[in-house]
Amino acid sequence: MDAPPNDTKSCFSWERRVEFCETDAAGIVHFASLILYMEQAEHALLRSLGYSVAPSATRSSPAPSESSVTWPRVHVECDFHAPARFEDLLQIRVGIASLGSKSICYDHSIFLGKQLVATGKMTSVCCEVQSGHIASQNIPTEMRNALSRFLTN
Amino acid sequence: MDAPPNDTKSCFSWERRVEFCETDAAGIVHFASLILYMEQAEHALLRSLGYSVAPSATRSSPAPSESSVTWPRVHVECDFHAPARFEDLLQIRVGIASLGSKSICYDHSIFLGKQLVATGKMTSVCCEVQSGHIASQNIPTEMRNALSRFLTN
Amino acid sequence: MDAPPNDTKSCFSWERRVEFCETDAAGIVHFASLILYMEQAEHALLRSLGYSVAPSATRSSPAPSESSVTWPRVHVECDFHAPARFEDLLQIRVGIASLGSKSICYDHSIFLGKQLVATGKMTSVCCEVQSGHIASQNIPTEMRNALSRFLTN
Amino acid sequence: MDAPPNDTKSCFSWERRVEFCETDAAGIVHFASLILYMEQAEHALLRSLGYSVAPSATRSSPAPSESSVTWPRVHVECDFHAPARFEDLLQIRVGIASLGSKSICYDHSIFLGKQLVATGKMTSVCCEVQSGHIASQNIPTEMRNALSRFLTN
């Protein structure tokens, strides 16, 4: 799998340049930075739909779609296929592998040109924060409908 | 699984306090910091045996056991069970789930007291760096023998 | 100034090993990691007195001395004298250069053995968080008394 | 100083959105992330001129202007004026306050709309890396000429 898949119509695509502080003494991007890029691409996907992973109270300006839900991550897995280096401009693709009643499983792939750098899966759970306590809840219907356009299956 | 397992004789244990810069706007430690703690505990395990993940050329003082091998990570997976917060003193346990001819699969669990915070598995491949190129190689016999004391199976 | 000063009776001293993720492609610790070590040593100094930089609400267990104050940083300056590398065990010394009615100016120095790696000054302001708003306030008398033992002048 | 200065003809301007992992438990961007944005804007300024802070050997593709120089930082100072939060889109402006024979002193300011968030000064020294050793050297004439367009005085 050394080339981007042909059918990417349901993927969200986001670009990120590798910063110097994200490299390590092996001369390549540190693996945890690649995981952070995957998280950041998820946030960009939500932002593209008018949503934010953070409750409005923590933001300078409210999300277009006001929301009190937050999305703690319960599972992460990644495979690292090729190194990326300082100043490489990476393309991060995110799709939604499955949409549960309370959770989202995202699928990620990171490319440097046609070279596959890393793949990942991450699961987040829809939660409401009330008075400092956190409890899972159903994904709001409107948000579920918006998210479904990124379903990869 | 809310208490540390009884039999930890083959695990390496390491402590890490959550720093403020490692928390996020949700008020808890960011998941990627937990992944970094797992990596750091691996490095502490290797250090306890006189080894380092980094070739000697990149260090101020050579590792007790001189080495030109490095250990790029090819797979990471983590589950997050409970939040940790600023100044929590976490216990990170690392064991070796399997020791291949060229790779190590580590098993991690992070506890806050008796509370399981996160579990993880990470696979690293033994590589040699020569003139800027990297190639996998067999784990040196002496190192394999030293590592086998942390086999969990 | 290539050796630790003789008189360190009023300094708080804290140790930190350089982690792999804190190095960069130049093969040395990234300068921002040294700045984070200085911040972390400040937090350790406060902890040694029973205080925390974070309001109790954000912590798993309350600080021994219950507190609703927080300490946003308003000024940072650092000079970098020598590189540090992966696995170096650094000694970070923190003293208090001046203690205003509402602010603290810390003095930092980082040593690798007798080699001075970095020096810094950081100013934090005592603030109270109420209903999401933040306002400066006088440092509580008891805390000021406790802090005065680390005054370097 | 709550509005961007009128005369910004000699500044390089770069945008950066605050990521979730860059916030802390106080609900705002961690101060060290603002310092990293300043460094990243410097690298973007150099990139706009066809230069890179990293020797070509550590990059996937060589810089348009081949170079073996690197730029260790010897001094950083920052003042923090107002908080920034998750998803804020910040404008980072960089100019060159002075251009020595071997060093550059950059001037930074970070804005959120018209609100000044932080200001900074950072000094880097031109160095050559040879066989793992690092030595200061004169800034190459061609590079000095290119940099002079960002002189703020």
Structure confidence by residue, pLDDT tens digits, A18-77: 999 999 988 899 999 999 999 999 999 999 999 988 766 566 765 445 456 788 999 999
ipTM entry: 0.89
The A-side interface with D (CB below 8 A) comprises 19-21, 23, 27, 36, 39-40, 43, 47, 52-54, 57-60, 84-88, 112
Question: What pLDDT does B131 receive?
Answer: 59
Q: A133 vs C107, which has greater pLDDT?
A: C107
Distance (Å) from the alpha carbon of A19 to chain D's nearest alpha carbon: 7
- Longest Cα–Cα distance of chain A, Å, equals 48
* pLDDT per residue as tens digits for the range B25-61: 888 999 999 999 999 999 999 999 999 887 665 667 6
Low-confidence ranges of chain C (pLDDT < 50): 1-4, 6-7, 63-64, 66
Across B2-11, C65-74, C136-145, D143-152, least confident range = B2-11
Contacts of A133 (CB under 8 A, 6+ apart): none
pLDDT at A132: 58
Q: Mean of the pLDDT values across residues A92-102?
A: 97
Gap between the Cα atoms of C87 and D61, Å rounded: 30
Whole-prediction pTM? 0.91
In three-state form (DSSP H/G/I as H, E/B as E, the rest C), the secondary structure along B87-149 is: CCEEEEEEEEEEECCCEEEEEEEEEECCEEEEEEEEEEECEEEECCEEEECCCCHHHHHHHHH
Single-letter residue type at C101 = S
**Phi then psi for C74, rounded to 5 degrees?**
-110, -20
Of D21, D43, D85, nearest to A20 by CB-CB distance is: D43
In this prediction, residue D54 has a pLDDT band, given cuts at 50, 70 and 90, of confident
Supply the DSSP symbol for D58.
G
The whole-angstrom separation of Cα C61 and Cα C57 is 9
Which residue in chain D is spatially nearest to A83 when comparing CA positions?
Answer: D60
Which residue type is seen at D80? F
Identify the chains in contact with A, defined as 3+ C-beta pairs within 8 A: B, C, D
Chain D contact set for C36 (CB, 8 A): 32
Query: Does residue D6 surpass a pLDDT of 70?
Result: no
pLDDT for the residue A128: 84
**Residue D113, token pair as written in the block:** 């709309």
pLDDT tens-digit series, residues D115-136: 999 999 999 999 987 655 678 9
**Nearest residue in chain C measured CA to CA from D26:** C54
